[in-house]
Amino acid sequence: MGYKILVTGPELTFEAIEIASRRGARLVATGGYVGPEDLAAIASKENPDAIIVRLGKLPEQVIAAAPNLKAIAKHGVGYDSIDIDAAARRGIPVMVARGANSQSVAELALTLIFAVARDVAHLDARMKSGHWDKATTNGVQLLGRSLGIVGFGEIGSILVGLVQPLRMKVRIFDPYMPADTRIEGAERVASLDEIIASSDVISLHCPLTAQTRNMIGAEQISRMRPGSILINTARGGLIDEAALFDALRDGKIGGAGLDSFAEEPVRPDHPLLTLPNVVATPHAGASTQAARVAMGTIAVDHVMNVLEGKTVDSRAIVNRPHLRVA
């Protein structure tokens, strides 16, 4: 009869669909964003063997609605939208696609740094409305500036390499990084305060947890350097958006490049979207063909390994239930 895998969001890439089909599974995609109640109804109707979370949230009510559910995979690495404790209580592993989108996200972080520093989005809009602001434009040259990276996983590590031609002074803060971690081209610092005080650009690359929620609040923003730039390609909940809006509106910091927001999709009247010194993208860090292929194929491989009783890479499991792992 085969396996059924529910995909929350659009269909996966051809490569992922082919792998699933070859291994005896059928993918059922919901399309766009689906709210918890509607998703629970779909899960109850389809009763999938596995769920791949591409868009939206996967709360306990959805997990409970699928009695045959044995595996959950994230189409990416951020798992804060999944109730991992509810899954663990059912003995269901929740797995992430480690490394699949790291290069693409790091490249978008660098893109946002340049875009904010050179006022690209605002100038583009001005030109398209008939203005020529050459005489009044005053961008930021990045050569030799200081970059603070919060969270030193694969994305942060790649970003360090990407900025080397700019000869930026890179500092890293990650309290969970092992003491013997090898860092090339950057200096490790002991606190977030040091990053805030010493950086012209701050780029966030950490997960959203109870400890990191609103880690960049009014107090931290008030201590950022005048003219500094804040980049977030991780999770919107890391930043107090109201405090950031006030600081950007009042010119206390230079600008922000935001790929993630506390609530997504972002409503069109979100205050941050009204500011000329904000460059915003729709959580598109992983939106490259290369990343989509990698995320889809890895997610399918994860859930199929569980369904087929094969060994699962323990590094990909974020709730570590009792199952056979490598």
Global confidence as pTM: 0.88
Q: Are 3-99+288-316 and 102-280 in the same CATH fold?
A: yes
SS3 278: strand
pLDDT band at 303 (very low <50, low <70, confident <90, very high): very high
Of 235, 241, 292, 302, catalytic:
235
Q: Which residue has the tokens 């890439």?
A: 13
* 196: pLDDT strictly greater than 80: yes
Percent of the chain with pLDDT over 70: 98
Known active-site residue 235:
yes
Q: Which of 145, 283, 292, 302 is catalytic?
A: 283
Average per-residue pLDDT for the chain: 95
| CATH superfamily membership of 102-280 | NAD(P)-binding Rossmann-like Domain (3.40.50.720)
In the chain, where the domains are located: 3-99+288-316, 102-280
Please tell me whether the peptide bond between 321 and the residue prior to it is cis, using omega within 30 degrees of 0. no
Average pLDDT over residues 133-142: 96
- Quote the pLDDT of residue 323: 52
Q: What percent of the chain has pLDDT over 90?
A: 90
H/E stretch holding 231: strand 229-232
Per-residue confidence at 182, pLDDT binned at 50, 70, 90? confident
Q: What is the pLDDT of residue 178?
A: 87
The contacts found for 273-280 with CB under 8 angstroms, 24 or more apart, are 275/245, 275/248, 275/249, 276/119, 276/122, 277/116, 277/119, 277/122, 277/248, 278/248, 279/112, 279/115, 279/116, 279/120, 279/121, 279/255
Taking only the tens place, the pLDDT of each residue in 20-40 is 999 999 999 999 899 999 999
User: How confident is the model at residue 325, as a pLDDT?
Assistant: 52
Name the DSSP letter for residue 82: B
pLDDT at position 1 is: 58
- Is 283 known to be catalytic? yes
The CATH number of 3-99+288-316 is 3.40.50.720
Nearest to 232 by CA among 141, 140, 113: 113
Quick one: average pLDDT of 166-188?
92
pLDDT > 90? residue 201: yes
